[in-house]
Amino acid sequence: MPHPHKHTNHIFAELGIIRSVGEAAEAAGVSINSVLQNPIMDHNRLDFVIATEEVSLSQIQKFTDKVAHSSWSLQKPLFMPILV
C-alpha cells in the first residue's frame, strides 16, 4: 500500500543538491511534497528531510539508492512511511 514517506539525509553542503534530489525523484517516479533543512552550522555535515507524496516501497527504495550514491551523500539515507 502506498504511503507518504519522510527521507532523512546526512550530507555535506555543495551546489546543486536540490537539483540532484529532484532528478533522483523524477527517475524513481517519486513526487516531492517538501524539503526541510536545518540552518547550516557545519558545511561538512548538514541534515535535511524530504517529504514525499504517496509512493510504493519499490519507488522509495529506488530513490534512496540514487540519493545514497550521490557525491554529497555521507551515508545511506533513512526513509520511513508516514501513516495518515
Scanning the structure block, which residue is given the C-alpha cell 550514491?
69
Architecture (CATH level 2) of domain 5-81: 2-Layer Sandwich (3.30)
Residue 10 DSSP code: E
DSSP 18-35: HHHHHHHHHHHT--EEEE
- In sequence order, the 6+-apart residues with CB closer than 8 A to the CB of 45 are 10, 11, 12, 74
**Per residue of the chain (84 residues), what is the pLDDT tens digit?**
666 666 666 677 778 889 999 999 999 999 999 988 888 888 888 888 888 999 999 999 999 999 999 988 888 888 888 876
